[in-house]
Amino acid sequence: MAIEVLNNARIATLDGPGYGMIEAGALVHDHAHILWVGPEHDLPAEHANAARHDMGGRLVTPALIDCHTHIVFAGDRAREFEMRLEGASYEQIARAGGGILSTVAATRSATDEALIAQALPRLDALLAEGLTMIEVKSGYGLEPETELRMLRAARRLAELRPVRVRTTYLAAHACPPEYTGRADAYINDVCLPTLRAAHAEGLVDAVDGFCEGIAFDTAQIARVFDLARTLGLPVKLHAEQLSHQGGTALAARHGALSADHVEYATAEDAALMATSGTVAVLLPGAFYTLRETQLPPVAAFRAQNVPMALATDCNPGTSPVTSLLLTMNMGCTLFGLTPEEALRGVTTHAARALGLHDCGRIAAGLRADLAVWDVTSPAELSWRIGFNPLHARIFGGTE
């Protein structure tokens, strides 16, 4: 592939301390991977005659990664939003058969084409902010065919847009109406066999669950994780979102890639995550939407060197958010992250939460997935609200 030099750039590599800034920087790529990055005056002679693309002094960062989304779903939950404003809680609505189950009904009755058509505008909003990698979960089918259709729809998005997609199997998201009061039977009859089927079709990159009073307990999730291990699939978990259930410790015991939400996690949980190398995926959009007050233990994560990722959790119920820039702002304002932590949270640490080693930083050998911004300092990305300073999105070296 033709070699190109991006020059006259301020490059936040996130490779090394701070932002890993290179002022007056240059980056060489071959329209797939980064070959070299450094100060422009050190550009290797072998690249001196390569095509130049002047960045105009703009800030270049790794492209953004959303490591926790439910963007494939049908219908909306505006009525539930109104009910919560009238005083109903998320748990009350869920226990009355609304919440996740109302999206399950809409998703089951949607065609494949409708699922894709409804997901695309959400994906496009994320792409417009410089995203090149997105994780998408199933979990609104809760029966074999719709779980598989959701995963296929998610994979299809990567054929319709210049983006990479990672699919996560989340049939242990809620107990469907036909199994009310029989969650163990649901795990045995539906969740486990459908995981085998989805894996056999090559549709599963990771396995997730919702460990919560309104969803599944640690023993039920453990059975799903045991099968994931047998199949050689990594696991992650929605843990300690609304209460402390022990999901984080379970996830750490299973060497999970990430424990997500974790508002109710403790300092002991953070220590376990540090030992297992589990990333804390913070989801401030859900915290904000549910008007939660329990803050995730950010100080403990820092003290234990647990990497913190940030993601939209884009879903119709608890986080109808399609902006990683807003998520960064919320991560700072609501959770007290620094703008540097927020940027690492949607790049380096998001990649790690997905088990990826080829993106999330700017370094030779990694993919040329970049975002070019009309800002002066990286902190500006977290500072503004509802403003998108993206100048260009570069996916595998191609703008």
Phi, psi of 255 (to 5 degrees): 60, 35
Q: How far is the CB of 4 from Fe ion (least distance, A)?
A: 38
Closest-approach residue to Fe ion (CB) = 313
Give the nearer residue to ligand DI6 in terms of CB position, either 319 or 327.
319
CA pseudo-torsion sign 348, 351, 356, 358: negative
| Contact set with ligand DI6 (CB under 6 A) | 99-100, 103, 173, 210, 238, 241, 286, 313, 315-319
Q: How far is the CB of 286 from ligand DI6 (least distance, A)?
A: 4
Q: Which amino acid is at 374?
A: D
316 binding partner (options ligand DI6, Fe ion, none; Cβ < 5 to 8 Å by kind)? ligand DI6
Q: How far is the CB of 241 from Fe ion (least distance, A)?
A: 8
Closest-approach residue to ligand DI6 (CB) = 317
Give the nearer residue to ligand DI6 in terms of CB position, either 25 or 99.
99
If one asks whether residue 240 binds Fe ion (CB under 5 A), the answer comes out as: no
| Closest by CA position to 243, among listed 280, 277, 279, 292 | 292
Of 302-341, binders to Fe ion (CB under 5 A) are: 313
| Closest by CA position to 247, among listed 208, 283, 286 | 208
Q: How far is the CB of 151 from ligand DI6 (least distance, A)?
A: 16
Q: Which amino acid is at 16?
A: G
269 binding partner (options ligand DI6, Fe ion, none; Cβ < 5 to 8 Å by kind)? none
Ramachandran quadrant class, 317 (left: phi over 0; alpha: psi -120 to 50; beta: rest): alpha
241 binding partner (options ligand DI6, Fe ion, none; Cβ < 5 to 8 Å by kind)? ligand DI6
Give the nearer residue to Fe ion in terms of CB position, either 313 or 369.
313
Q: How far is the CB of 325 from ligand DI6 (least distance, A)?
A: 20
Q: How far is the CB of 242 from ligand DI6 (least distance, A)?
A: 8
DSSP per-residue letters across 234-275: -BEEEESSSS--SHHHHHHHTT-SEEEE-TT--HHHHHHHHH
Give the nearer residue to ligand DI6 in terms of CB position, either 152 or 238.
238
Ramachandran quadrant class, 168 (left: phi over 0; alpha: psi -120 to 50; beta: rest): beta
Give the nearer residue to ligand DI6 in terms of CB position, either 129 or 240.
240
Count of CB atoms situated within 10 Å of the CB of 183: 18
Locate 365 and state its tokens.
Answer: 């050998």
Give the nearer residue to Fe ion in terms of CB position, either 132 or 168.
168
Residue pair 295/308 in contact by the 8 Å Cβ criterion: no
Q: How far is the CB of 110 from ligand DI6 (least distance, A)?
A: 15
Count of CB atoms situated within 10 Å of the CB of 223: 17
Give the nearer residue to ligand DI6 in terms of CB position, either 27 or 237.
237
Give the nearer residue to Fe ion in terms of CB position, either 13 or 319.
319
Count of CB atoms situated within 10 Å of the CB of 41: 8
Q: How far is the CB of 268 from ligand DI6 (least distance, A)?
A: 23
CA–CA dist 140, 104 (Å, integer) = 4
Cβ contacts of 286 within 8 Å, gap of 6 or more: 241, 261, 292, 313, 318, 319
Where does this chain bind Fe ion (CB under 5 A)? Answer: 313
